[in-house]
A and B are shown apart, each in its own frame.
Chain A
């Protein structure tokens, strides 16, 4: 047991907001450009799972995902990271998008294997859903909304 939950919320960046939804958990992320939006969304997802500030950057992996459109690409990107987290017991805390188009993303992600002595796993994300999914431009900023099934 720990106090990470409260501590994390206290220092949550202003570009990441928890979505107030009765059934599940969601987030709203903003960024000045699309690449940053996808990177921040990944970081935001890992704040649901654990405290990314406690994740060391010991491993790096390059991955690529494809999707029919930009919104689906965001879901596939986050789903891919969640799949790797669950099947390989890894946590990620740095995301560097190397290539981004409407339908394809290539990224280098850094993190480390779960260490139960240092990492608290708050919850599992069953799925990154298409419900209420949005990517839109607001003025000069980009904004994404994603809902997770926990």
Chain B
């Protein structure tokens, strides 16, 4: 496979075989060696085979191996000739990140950090085996998937102002509950308001560095300010929707005579019965995830009040923004000089719209859409903003995180004989998790340094660095 450098942090794999368009990978020269040795670049090339793909198959600098599509992949499809693929969204539909900031400084929170982290661990359930999920009937769950985060706010679980600062205002149109299986409803019923396991987490941190003072001011970020990051998605509801429709699409591929280089790229034409059915079910999962993060944000606010003994005004936890990073959406983008409505798949990639786009909250019009890039539990995370170059180059998309560098097996080997929790605590980071094994698997060394991913995006011009956040405490499933 050939890689031609076409920009400071951009490489192109020219079309060969059945590729309809080139694949483009964002990476610095230093990162490319690792990417070359991973199957993920082949996966980016495979996506270029899909019918109706527009311009290129894109991969962000945090590209790594996924199911069919690479993680870090972005692909746009024509609505008439193109396809929609569950593998281009992922199992955790609308996995995403919310950033909240408080009125408190690090010095004010540190003395009660242990109480705070313990309270969060009690109040924010992680998943199977942990009590405290919202119990909702199937009828109520149908309202959840129709209303998204607004459902939670209407029940008093959040503030009206939260909705202004969530991608799609926390509710996407097109959800069709009739397209969702009985199993997905059953898996979703007991998990609303839960974090889940794996790489999902809730982190208390602080603003450690500001790179763009103007943008930081607009977002209300300042050094030493205490922050909260919530990273989770649509839980078992979304996983089941994905699983159900992978089988549907497997049959659709044969029905529509679509030739695929990898069976896991299973897809159907956007306007086919199967494509529309997945669309309607997927949007239900998108809204489930928006509601899930809203409920968790509410429990986070209450936990701060209990643990710190302050009222909500003194704490002032406010949503800066919330992004989705596993999603397919209809969006308008310029293609050959005219605006076209496309089906954009972002799998482990984040929307990064430029200043002036109508989807960007009015308060942020001058700086562009905030983008939230979590790192690992021992290092740092980043706040970026979208750019005009992202609109031109990547359908308004950028990276989503660090990406693993080591397998879980290797991470556990590296953690063996060490007390990871104690090591982190010595560095001022308190971690609570359900299982020591999970914490060991998620050690810092298991992840790539997210700063190199973010710097590659900045170098390519598809994002603007605003601020860095460092962790104080973290809860994990």
Contact = CB atoms under 8 A, between A and B. Distances in A.
Nearest to A130: B264
A149 interface: yes
Given A85-B128, A86-B187, A123 B436 contact: no
Interface in A104-150: 114, 116, 119-124, 126-127, 129-131, 149-150
Nearest to B189: A87
B67 A149 contact: yes
Contact of A4 (B130, B437, B477): B437
B434 A122 contact: yes
B128 A114 contact: yes
A22 B64 CA distance: 9
A121 B409 contact: no
Contacts of B236: 86-87, 124, 126
A18 interface: yes
Given A1-B436, A23-B66, A127-B239, A150 B128 contact: no
Contacts of A89: 128-129
B77 interface: no
B438 A87 contact: no
B378 interface: no
Nearest to B263: A130
Interface in A12-40: 18-25
Nearest to A3: B436
Interface string B232-248: 00001001001100100
B305 interface: no
A4 B242 CA distance: 31
Interface string B65-93: 11100010000000000000000000110
B404 A5 contact: no
Interface stretch (B134-142, B147-155, B190-198): B190-198
Nearest to A119: B129
B127 A5 contact: no
Contact of B412 (A5, A23, A126): A5
Contacts of A130: 246, 263-264
Interface in A55-111: 79, 83, 85-87, 89
Given A116-B129, A129-B67, A87 B190 contact: yes
A129 B128 CA distance: 20
Contacts of A116: 129-131
Contact of B477 (A2, A25, A114, A124): A124
B242 A127 contact: yes
Contact of A123 (B242, B243, B405, B435): B435
Given A86-B187, A149-B91, A150-B197, A127 B409 contact: no
B416 interface: yes
B438 A122 contact: yes
B168 interface: no
A23 B91 contact: no
Interface in B92-138: 92, 127-131
A124 B435 contact: no
B64 A23 contact: yes
**At the interface, is chain A mostly helix, strand, loop or mixed?**
loop
A50 to B, nearest CB: 9
B306 interface: no
Interface in B324-346: none
B153 to A, nearest CB: 27
B407 interface: yes
Given A5-B435, A83-B187, A149-B67, A126 B404 contact: no
B440 interface: yes
A148 B298 CA distance: 32
B66 A86 contact: no
A150 B408 CA distance: 11
A120 B435 contact: yes
B436 A2 contact: yes
Contacts of A126: 91-92, 198, 236, 239
A20 B264 CA distance: 21
Contact of A86 (B128, B421, B436): B128
B433 interface: yes
Nearest to A75: B243
B436 A5 contact: yes
A127 B66 CA distance: 13
B254 interface: no
B36 interface: no
Q: Which of B66, B408, B440 has the most CB of A within 10 A?
A: B408
A149 B89 CA distance: 14
Contacts of A22: 38, 64-65, 404-407
B240 to A, nearest CB: 8
A1 B433 contact: yes
B183 interface: yes
B92 to A, nearest CB: 6
Cβ-closest 3 pairs across A and B: A5-B437, A121-B129, A122-B435
Interface of A: 1-6, 9, 18-25, 79, 83, 85-87, 89, 114, 116, 119-124, 126-127, 129-131, 149-150
Given A121-B127, A131-B67, 19 more contacts: A2-B435, A3-B436, A5-B437, A22-B65, A23-B65, A24-B408, A25-B408, A83-B187, A86-B187, A87-B187, A89-B128, A121-B130, A121-B197, A124-B196, A124-B197, A126-B239, A127-B239, A149-B67, A150-B197
9 contacts: A18-B408, A19-B409, A20-B409, A83-B183, A83-B187, A87-B186, A87-B190, A121-B129, A127-B243
